[in-house]
Amino acid sequence: MKSLEKILVATDFKHASEDALQMAIALAREFDSEVMLVHVIPEIKDFQMARGKIRKKVTDTLKQMEMDMKRKGMASIETITRFGNPFERIIEYSDELDVNLIVVGSGKGEKKFPLGTTAERVMIYADKPVLVVKPGSRPLIRKTFCPVDFSEASKRALINAIHLSQAFEAHLTVLTVFESLLSSFFGPGRTPGESKEKALVKRQQYQYDRFLRGFESENLKWTKRIRRGQPHEEILRAVREAQPDLLVMGSQGGTGFSRLLLGSTTERVVREMPCSVITLKQEHVIRFPLEKEVADIETHFKKGKQLLKEELTEGAVAQFEYCIRKDPYFIPAWENMAVAFRQIGQGKDATKCKEMAAYLRTHLWENHREEDAQRTS
């Protein structure tokens, strides 16, 4: 199974999009990925567009791009033309196609707003990993950079940074920044003393070493750095010194209505666009068989929940049934299928699903308790 199966490239036919496409091609060649080229035509209110003519022109342009890519040895390419809000459509198709990665250009590169509005919105609201390519970036990845703060999000980022670095034989720099709180805690002009300062630094170094334990690999060339100060400032300073081709960062974004922004540090760093950046929320760019299967189940479960909310109950049941075929112990699918059956008046089926969910929850809980008792005995 391919570890980076699908790459969705959003293009507006400008220079930034061309740089993004070249980066996507480099990734696709390395991982034998399928590339989806999508262009979204904005709909302007109170303006009657010749939709057919515009669609044909865009489709022809995408087909020409497809032919050029095939001449360069790319085999698996799909082109998509749609009308609508660009960032909403990009996110919609990334979910529908279950892509590993969304690739977009970073706008025009203005000093005031280097990220670009569409790129920023995709990065903020997409659940999928997003690669924003800085204009002028070379498609070859020789240096990668990954800041970590010991969270699950930064662990996910580091795992992917390592896989990407190994694939491209790139040198990886890993950085952690400890924010100094001493002066604010002890008061202006006061310090805890040299011995306590050394003890704190030693404890922070231990935390860093412990976090990185298990990531060692003979096939990985990397440098581990530690700094103190304001995280986003030190990250940007270190990135400018290292001059990486790719920055990989975890973010704290949730999903659905609980979705947050990128997290203050990640947001401040990516707004500066010091280089091309990948942000990861809940999913990996590089998937392995189990991760791919879990992601597939989650995708269908989300679709089922949405269909249930929209009262398209039969479609919801089909999605939950798919989840259960893949994982018979997936309790949320049983519970939501019970709700769906109840909505369409199939009370017996609803009861069976509810009972199965309760049985699994009790049974699995008892097994966990027995395992815990055996470990502590």
3-state SS string for 163-191: HHHHHHCCEEEEEEEECCCHHHHHCCCCC
**Residue 172 belongs to a domain:** no
Q: Does residue 55 sit in the same domain as residue 123? A: yes
* Calpha distance 339→335 (Å, rounded): 7
**Residue 198 belongs to a domain:** no
Q: Does residue 72 sit in the same domain as residue 111? A: yes
The pair of three-digit structure tokens given for residue 152, joined into one six-digit string: 């699950």
Q: Does residue 251 sit in the same domain as residue 362? A: no
Total number of domains constituting the chain: 2
Residue with structure tokens 């929940």?
305
Q: Could you tell me which residues are beta bridge partners of residue 178?
A: 228
Q: Does residue 366 sit in the same domain as residue 255? A: no
Q: Does residue 293 sit in the same domain as residue 275? A: no
Q: For residue 111, name the pLDDT band (cuts at 50, 70, 90).
A: low
Q: Does residue 159 sit in the same domain as residue 41? A: yes
Q: Edge to edge, what strands does the sheet with 6-10 contain? A: 77-83, 34-41, 6-10, 101-105, 130-133, 276-280, 246-250, 143-147, 171-178, 221-228
What's the pLDDT tens digit per position in 256-292?
333 334 567 888 888 888 899 999 988 899 887 656 6
Residue with structure tokens 């990407």?
164
Distances in Å between the alpha carbon of 254 and those of 39, 115, 160? 27, 21, 19
What's the pLDDT tens digit per position in 224-236?
999 988 899 999 9
- Report strand pairing: 130-133 vs 276-280: antiparallel
**Residue 234 belongs to a domain:** no
Residues 348-362 have a mean pLDDT of: 89
Q: Does residue 363 sit in the same domain as residue 248? A: no
Q: Does residue 274 sit in the same domain as residue 293? A: no
* Calpha distance 214→219 (Å, rounded): 14
**Residue 62 belongs to a domain:** yes
Q: Does residue 77 sit in the same domain as residue 148? A: yes
**Residue 94 belongs to a domain:** yes
Q: Does residue 363 sit in the same domain as residue 255? A: no
The pair of three-digit structure tokens given for residue 349, joined into one six-digit string: 């089926």
The answer to whether 164 and 136 have CB atoms below 8 angstroms apart is: no
Please give the residue range of the domain that contains residue 252: 6-167+243-280
Residues 222-247 have a mean pLDDT of: 93
What's the pLDDT tens digit per position in 70-109?
887 787 888 888 888 999 999 999 998 999 999 999 865 4
**Residue 214 belongs to a domain:** no
